[in-house]
Structure 1
Amino acid sequence: MDWDHIDRNEYFYKKFDFEVNLNHEERDGNILWINPSKSGSIEDYQSLNYKPGIAGLMQELSEIEDKF
């Protein structure tokens, strides 16, 4: 994310119904879009217990490693 223009980006994504969770102090967060044509919701996404970004990738790799 380009933190020099975060306010403009945040406004844009919220305007188009993205789920925006940003921590401005830590310069961290995520922007999520749920495809409405798939009848999804933020609750469905959260029920998957998936973390976006690098945290999600690390979680996936850890789960794969645990299987072996």
Structure 2
Amino acid sequence: MSMTREEIVSVLGPTDETLVADILSTGASFEELREAWAWLNGDEALMGEGRPLPGTRVAELIDLLDADEDD
């Protein structure tokens, strides 16, 4: 199921519409966005839990979110 703008904002907080559109264009789910956010903000903890590395969509989201943080 596609995620909504409101779901994106619930994870990221206020963000620009370009990033929202880029995230929506990935076709990722809300759960994938939450996982990407978790990896970006605490990947060592997730690796310590023995979680597998992120899948393709999650990795794409991480790239989008990480690029936004560099601005």
TM-score by structure 1 length?
Answer: 0.28
Flag the structure with higher strand content. Answer: 1
TM-score by structure 2 length?
Answer: 0.27
Flag the structure with higher helix content. Answer: 2
